[in-house]
Chain A
Amino acid sequence: MGGGDRRQGGPTRVIGTPQRKVDAAAKVTGETLFSDDLVLPRMLYARILRSTQPHARIAHIDASAAEAIEGVKAVLTGEALPTAFGILPVSQDEHTLAVHKVRFIGDPVAAVAAVTEEIATEAIDAIQVEYEPLEPITSAEEATEKPDPRIHDYGPAGNFHKLIDLEFGDVDQGFGEAGLVREDFFFYEGSTHLPMEQHAAVASWSPDEKLTLWSSTQTPHYVHRALAKVLGLLAAHIRVVACPNGGGFGGKSDPFSHEIVVAKLAMMTGRPVKITLTREEVFYCHRGRHPTLMWVKTGVARDGSIKGMHFRTLLDGGAYGSYGVASTYYTGALQTVTYHVERYKFQGARVFTNKAPCGPKRGHGTPQPRFALEIHIDKIAEDLGIDPAELRLKHLVPAESLTANYLSVGSMGLGECIRRVTDGARWKERFRKLPLGRGVGLACSSYITGAGLAIYWNDMPHSGVQLKCDRGGGVTVFCGSTDIGQGSDSVLAYVVAEILGIEPLDLRIVTADTDLTPVDLGSYSSRVTLMTGNAAIQAAERARTILAQHAAKALEVPVDRLVFADRRVFDAEDPDNGMSFAEAVVRAEAAHGTVGTVGSYTPPNSAGRYRGAGVGPSPAYSYSAAVAEAEVDPATGIVRIPKIWIAHDVGRCINPVNVMGQVEGSVYMGLGEAVMEEMAYRSNRSVVHKMPSLLEYKSPTTLEMCDVVTYLVEDPDPAGPFGAKEVGQGPLLPIPPAIANAVYDAVGVRVDEVPLTPEKVLKALKRKAAGQEPRVGPTKFPEIPWPEPIRVPPPWEGGDGRAVSATPVTASVPEERQH
C-alpha cells in the first residue's frame, strides 16, 4: 500500500518527533464540542425508563399519565420498534425498548421526549409498567446449571450463548512428554470503562426526511447500519456523526438503545431530540470486561518449554450478546503469541445472566487469560526452580513465525521489553530477595494491532481516506475514524504532513461523519493507527505523485530528485530550485484538474482457515513486559503499588509523547482492575448493581496511581505505517498479573483473582498462618457440554490451517468473521 520506506523507519521529519495533537488547543480551552454540548433550535430532551426487574415479562405498560403531562411531546415503547439489533450479525438480540421481556435491571423499557429534561423525567416516572417476574440467573455458574428460565431463545442450549472447542495438536500427548504438568484456576472480575463523559446523543429529522445523529460513539459506521435496520430507513438517508468521545475504552462501541430512541423521537416529533445518560445509566449500558472463570493445565519440559496447554474459560456475558462471541474467542486466541506453545487446546463458554451486558473493554477478552497465564507461568517457574524472567526469555515466539493456532507474528520485541524492565527494576537483585512485605513481579503480554476481519463479513477495505489539495496549499483529509482521545485525528495529520512536506497543523482533518468521510470501521481493536495510517499513506503518496509530476516539469528536474519538505517542493541537489507547496498544487490543478486522491487499507488474509480462525489474526502484534513493585501490609492486607516499570514494543512511534500517554494510561487502567475496580452485584436474587456511581465504584485517583517508568521499544513492523504497531490497549495486559506476582513475592500468598482487595490478601495470609494452602481463588470449573472439537494440526505437524474434523469449512461463515 505505502512505499516500502514508509514501513521501515527511514529518515522522517514529523514521524517520531513529539507533536501537539491537532485538537490539543481546542481541548485545553474547552472548545471541543462533545455530544452533550450540542444545542439545536426547538430541541427536546429525552429520558429512558429502565427496568427495575432483573428478569420479567412485561404484562402491561400504561403511559397515559405520561402523555397527559404538559410539555411531553412523544412517548415511545418497544412495539413501535420491533426489529432487533446488535453489534454482531450472530447476536441480533437487543431491542431499542423492551418487547415483552426485560433481562436486567437497567434494560430500556420506554422513552419520552419533552420540552425540558425535568418534564421528561417526571413523565418516565409516570409510566406504569406491570411486570411478571421470572426467576433471575445471577451468576455464570448458575447459568451453566439452569437451562430454565431461558434468557434468550437462541444459543447452543439453555443459557449458553456460545461454546467453543478448538484443538491445535494433541495436548494429552504434550502432557505425556512433559516433565511437569500443572493445573490452576483463576477468576477475573468484571469491571467497567467508566469514561468521564456520559454517553449522549442528539438526533435531527429534517423536513426532507433525512436523519442526522450526533453521538458519543466509537463506531459511527456500525451505528449507521443499526439505525437503518431498526428504523427501516435507507442508509443513504441517515447521517451519523461521532462527536469527539470523552473517553471510550470500548464502552461506546456498540450501537445503543438511546441512539435509536432519540432518532425515533425526532422522527415522531419533527424536532431535534437530545439525550444524556445519567452516570447510573452509564453503568447499565456497560459492555465492559466479562467476569471470567479460568482453568489452565500446562505441561512443560524441565527447561520450561511448553509441550501442551489446555485453557478453559467461562464468561459471564450478562443479558445480551454484544461483542460476546468475539470476546469468548479472544479469551483463547492470544495465549500462543508470547511463548512458543507446541500444542494448544482452547475451550470457551459464554453464558447469559440477568446483569448488565458485557462486551469489549480495553484489551477485549485478553486481560483475563493473560492474568491467568502469567501467574501460571510464574508458578511453573517456581516449580522448576527457574527465574521467571529467564524462563520467558528462553521460550519466546520467534519473529516472522506462525503460532500453533495460525497467527502470523511479524516483528517481536518482547525479549527486549523483558530485558529493559528487569534491568530497570534491578530484578536479579530484588526478586525473592526483598524483606517481608515488599516484592516484585513480572508479567508479559501481546495484543493485536487491529482485528484482521470486520464485524460483518464483507470484502471491502477496513479503512478509507480521501485527500483534497486546495490551490491555496491547504490539504484536507477525510476519514471515518473516530477520535476518542487516543489521537487518531492527529495520526492522519502526521502521516500526510510527513509525505507532503507540510506541517501537521497545516492540515484540516475531517473525521467520523458518514456523510462526509469514507468508511473506517471504528475505534476498536487497536486498529486505527495501522489501518487509517496505511490508507492515509496511500492517499498522500498518490497526491505526491500528481504534484511531483507537474512540479518536476516546471523545475526541469527528474521526479525522483524532488523533495517535499518545509512547505516546499525542490530539487534535492539544488534546494534553491523549487517552489512552494501551494504553487505545486496550482500547477498540478492547472494541468491535471482538481487534485484529490483516495487511499484504503485491507488487512492481509489470515493463515487459519478453520471455524473460529476469524478472531486473533492481526496485521501486527504489539508486545509488553512489566515489573510491578508491591508493598503489602501483613497486618491489614492492604496492597500498595509504588512503582511499575513497563516496556512496550510499539514497532515505531508515530508521536512518542502520545505513545507515552497511552502506555501510562494503560498502566493506570490495569492498576485499577488489579486492586480495586469491580462491576459487582448484590448477592441476593434482585441482581442489583452494588455501586452504580463514581464514588462507590472505586477507581484510582492521583493518590493511588503509581510511579511509572516507561521504556519504548521500537522494532518496526513491516505491516505498520512507518513500522508502527498498537499502543492503546496492550500495555494494560501485563499489569494485573505483574501485581499479583509481586504480592506473592512480598508475602508469599497467591491471590488468583482480581481485584486483589485487602480482604482477599488478608484471608490468604490467615490461611498461610494456619498452615493451609496460602491462596485465595477459585477451586473448580463447572461441567460444560463442550461441542465436538475442531481439530487443526499446528503448522509444525504438517497442518495447512484447515480443520481435519468431519465438518468441512464453508467459504463464508459469518459467525467466524467477527472479532
Chain B
Amino acid sequence: MANRRPNPRVEAHIGFVVNGEPTEVSFAPHKTLLEVLREDLDLTGTKHGCELGECGTCTVLLDGQPVLSCLVLGIACEGRRIRTVEGMREGPHLHPLQDAFAELGAAQCGYCTPGLLLTAEALLDENSSPSRDEIKNALSGNLCRCTGYIKIYEAVELAAARMRGEDARPTAETIYGRR
C-alpha cells in the first residue's frame, strides 16, 4: 500500500461488465482493479501474490485479454468487460479447464489457480490446439510453486482436446508415471 491518506469522501464511480453482469461500483479512486474486485465486489477468487505485477496470481481478463489486476486502476475499467474465475462456470458446470485442473491435480494449493485458468482460457480462445511450447509461453507470467507446471500443461492440453470435441482422457503416464 502506498503511503497516502485517502479522503473517504472522494469516491470514484464506474460502470462495467463483470462476468457478464452490468455492475456499478463506488470505491476510493486510488484502488486497483484487484482491490475493487476483492474488497468492493467480494470477488475473492482473484488472488494476489505481490501486488507489484511480478507473479501473475491476480490475472483477470480485461476485454478478453489477460491483465495483472494489481497494475490496472479501477477507474480505468469504465465500460470494460472483466472476467474473473467466478465467471468461468457455466451455471453449475465446471469450465473444461476447471474440470481438467481438478481431474489432474493441477491445482495443489489452489492459490495461483484462478490466474492460470484465466490465462489459459485466453490462450485457448485464440488457439484451440496449442503446442506444449505455446502453452509454456502463454503461461510464463504466472508463477506456481507447487506443481512444477507439468500437471498444468497436461490439464490445458486435456481441456483443449475436450473443447475441440474430442473424447480425451489423461494418459497413463500422466497419472501413474512411466511404467
Stretch of A139-147, A242-250, A303-311 lying at the B interface: A242-250
Kindly list chain B residues whose C-beta atoms are within 8 Å of the C-beta of A198.
48-49
User: In A19-58, which residues have CB < 8 Å from any B CB?
Assistant: 20-21, 23-34, 36-37, 39
Cα of A694 to Cα of B145 in the assembled complex, Å? 12
Q: Is the CB of B143 within 8 A of A657?
A: no
With both beta carbons as reference points, the residue of chain A lying nearest to B5 in the complex is identified as A122
Residue-wise, chain A 390-418 has the 8 Å CB interface mask toward B (1 for contact) of 00000000000000000000000000000
Q: B44 on the interface (CB 8 Å rule)?
A: yes
Which of B137, B145, B170 lies in contact with A194, CB distance below 8 A? Answer: B145
Question: In the complex, A796→B55 CA distance in Å?
Answer: 53
Indicate if B84 sits at the interface (CB-CB under 8 A): yes
The residue in A36, A197, A712 that gathers the most chain B C-beta atoms within 10 A of its C-beta is A197
Residues from chain A with Cβ under 8 Å of B135 in the complex:
702
Kindly specify which of A432-440, A626-634, A665-673 makes contact with the partner chain.
A665-673
Q: Which residues of A contact B149 (CB under 8 A)?
A: 668, 702, 705
Name the A residues within 8 Å of B112 (CB-CB): 196
> Contact check: which of A29, A196, A660, A669 meets B49 at CB < 8 Å?
A196
Say yes or no: is A658 at the interface (Cβ < 8 Å to chain B). Answer: yes
Whether the pair B177, A711 counts as a contact (CB closer than 8 A) is: yes
Of A23, A657, A693, the contact of B174 (CB 8 Å cutoff) = A657
Question: In the complex, which residues 92-147 of chain B have their Cβ closer than 8 Å to any Cβ of chain A?
Answer: 94, 98-99, 101-114, 117, 135-137, 139-147
* B52 in the interface (beta carbon within 8 A): yes
Q: Which residue of A lies closest to B86 (CB)?
A: A30
The segment from A331-339, A445-453, A479-487, A741-749 that touches chain B is A479-487
Smallest CB gap from B108: residue in A: A485
Taken residue by residue from 426 to 468, chain A's Cβ proximity to chain B (1 for < 8 Å, 0 otherwise) reads as 0000000000000000000000000000000000000000000
Given A37-B44, A424-B178, A665-B148, also A119-B5 (CB < 8 A): yes
| A28 nearest CB across to chain B (Å) | 4
- Contact, CB under 8 Å: A18 / B140: no
A279 contacts B105, C-beta separation under 8 Å: no
B25 at the A interface (CB under 8 A): no
**Could you tell me if A246 and B107 are in contact, using CB atoms closer than 8 angstroms?**
no
Contact with B along A757-775 (1 / 0, CB 8 A): 0000000000000000000
Residues of B within 8 A of A782 (CB): none
Residues of A within 8 A of B85 (CB): 28-30
Q: Which of A24, A32, A693 contacts B102 (CB 8 A)?
A: A24
Q: Mark B57-94, 1 if CB is under 8 A from A, else 0.
A: 10000000000000000000000000011101100001
Closest to B43 in A: A30
A197 to B175, CA, bound (A): 27
Q: How large is the interface on A (under 10, 10 to 19, 20 to 34, 35 or more residues)?
A: 35 or more
Interface residues of A in 108-145 (CB under 8 A from B): 116-119, 121-122, 125
* A residues in contact with B52, CB < 8 Å: 279, 693-695
The CA-CA distance from A715 to B42 in the complex, in Å, is 48
A-B Cβ contacts below 8 A, count: 210
| Other-chain contact of A30, B3, B84, B105 (Cβ < 8 Å) | B84
Given A661-B108, A701-B140, A702-B149, verify A28-B102 contact (CB < 8 Å): yes
Give the chain B neighbours of A92 by CB distance below 8 A: none
B94:A25 contact, CB within 8 angstroms: yes
Nearest CB on B from A345, distance (A): 37
C-alpha spacing A279/B101, complex, angstroms: 27
Alpha-carbon distance A29/B99, docked complex (angstroms) = 10
- Closest residue on chain B to residue A28 by CB atoms: B98
Q: Produce 1/0 per residue, A192-205, CB < 8 A to B.
A: 01111110000000
With contact pairs A30-B84, A30-B85 given, residues A18 and B175 touching in the complex (Cβ less than 8 Å): yes
B144 in complex: contacting residue of A21, A26, A196, CB < 8 Å: A196
User: How would residues 469 to 503 of chain A score, 1 for a CB under 8 Å from any chain B CB and 0 otherwise?
Assistant: 00000000000000011110000000000000000
| Nearest CB of A to B107, in Å | 4
B102 CB contacts on chain A under 8 angstroms: 20-21, 24-25, 27-28
What's the least CB distance linking B67 to chain A, in Å? 17
Q: Which residues of B contact A246 (CB under 8 A)?
A: 47, 109-111
Quick one: which of A27, A249, A693, A708 contacts B145, CB cutoff 8 A? A249
Give A101 to B2 CA distance when docked, in angstroms: 28
Residue of B nearest to A663 (CB): B177
Query: Please, what's the 1-or-0 string for A673-705, where 1 marks a CB less than 8 Å from any CB in chain B?
Result: 000000000000000000001110001011101
Distance to closest chain A CB from B82 (angstroms): 14
B6–A485 CB distance below 8 A: no
Minimum CB–CB distance from A722 to chain B (whole Å) comes to 16
A112 CA to B35 CA in the complex, in Å?
Answer: 21
How many Å from the CB of B127 to the closest CB on chain A?
16
Contact status A33-B49, CB under 8 Å: no
**Which A residues are in CB contact (< 8 Å) with B38?**
37
- Complex CA gap A668/B146 in Å reads 8
Assess the B148–A28 pair: CB atoms within 8 A. no
Q: Is B45 an interface residue (CB 8 A)?
A: yes
Q: With A and B bound together, what is the CA distance between A39 and B85 in angstroms?
A: 20
Determine whether B1 belongs to the interface, using a CB cutoff of 8 Å to chain A.
yes
CB distance from B1 to the nearest CB of A (A): 5
Decide: A247 and B54 in contact? CB cutoff 8 A. no
A121 — which chain B residues lie within 8 A by C-beta? 1-3
Which parts of A567-612 form the interface with B (CB within 8 Å)? none
Q: Is the CB of B94 within 8 A of A661?
A: no
User: Pick the contact of A664 from B4, B50, B54, B148 — CB < 8 Å?
Assistant: B148
Give Cα distance in the complex from A789 to B110, angstroms.
47
> Is B150 within 8 A of A708, CB to CB?
yes
A710 touches B (CB below 8 Å): yes
Q: Give the distance in Å from the alpha carbon of A21 to the alpha carbon of B110 in the complex.
A: 11
0/1 interface trace, chain A 247-268, chain B, CB 8 Å (1 if under): 1110000000000000000000
Contact for A29 among B45, B151, B176, CB less than 8 A: B45
A570 to chain B, nearest CB (A): 30
Chain B residues near A695 (CB-CB < 8 A): 50, 52, 54
- A709 within 8 Å of B (CB atoms): yes
Q: Given A197-B47, A699-B143, is A247 in contact with B109 using a C-beta cutoff of 8 Å? A: yes
Q: Is A805 an interface residue (CB 8 A)?
A: no
Bound: A516/B1 CA distance, A: 36
Q: Determine the chain B residues whose CB is within 8 A of the CB of A668 once the complex forms.
A: 145, 147-149
Residue A278 lies at the interface, judged by CB distance under 8 Å to chain B: yes
Which of A195, A702, A709 interacts with B139 by CB under 8 Å?
A702
Rounded to whole Å, the gap between the CB of B111 and the closest CB of chain A is 3
Do A196 and B3 touch across chains, with their CB atoms under 8 A apart? no
Contact with A along B139-179 (1 / 0, CB 8 A): 11111111111110100000000000000001000111111
Chain A min CB distance to B133 (Å): 10
Name the residue of chain B whose CB is nearest to the CB of A647.
B177
Most chain-B Cβ atoms within 10 A of its Cβ — which of A20, A196, A487, A711? A196
Residues on the B chain within 8 Å of A194, using CB:
145
Tell me, in angstroms, the Cα distance from A699 to B49 when the chains sit together: 14
User: How far is it, in angstroms, between the C-alpha of A116 and the C-alpha of B8 when the chains are bound?
Assistant: 10
A sample of 26 inter-chain contacts (CB < 8 A) reads A24-B101, A24-B102, A24-B103, A24-B105, A24-B107, A26-B110, A27-B109, A27-B113, A28-B98, A29-B85, A118-B4, A118-B5, A125-B3, A247-B111, A278-B1, A278-B51, A279-B51, A279-B52, A485-B108, A485-B109, A487-B105, A660-B174, A661-B104, A668-B147, A668-B148, A702-B139
Return the 9 tightest CB-CB contacts between A and B, nearest first. A30-B45, A485-B109, A27-B110, A246-B111, A668-B148, A24-B102, A30-B85, A485-B108, A694-B54
Contact surface of A with B, Cβ cutoff 8 Å: 18, 20-21, 23-34, 36-37, 39, 116-119, 121-122, 125, 193-198, 244-249, 278-279, 424, 484-487, 653, 656-658, 660-661, 663-669, 693-695, 699, 701-703, 705, 708-712
- B residues sitting closer than 8 Å to A (CB atoms) are 1-6, 38, 42-52, 54-55, 57, 84-86, 88-89, 94, 98-99, 101-114, 117, 135-137, 139-151, 153, 170, 174-179
**Known A30-B85, A664-B147; 17 more pairs at CB < 8 Å:** A25-B94, A25-B102, A29-B89, A30-B113, A118-B4, A122-B3, A196-B145, A247-B111, A247-B145, A249-B145, A424-B178, A487-B105, A663-B177, A665-B147, A693-B50, A703-B137, A710-B178
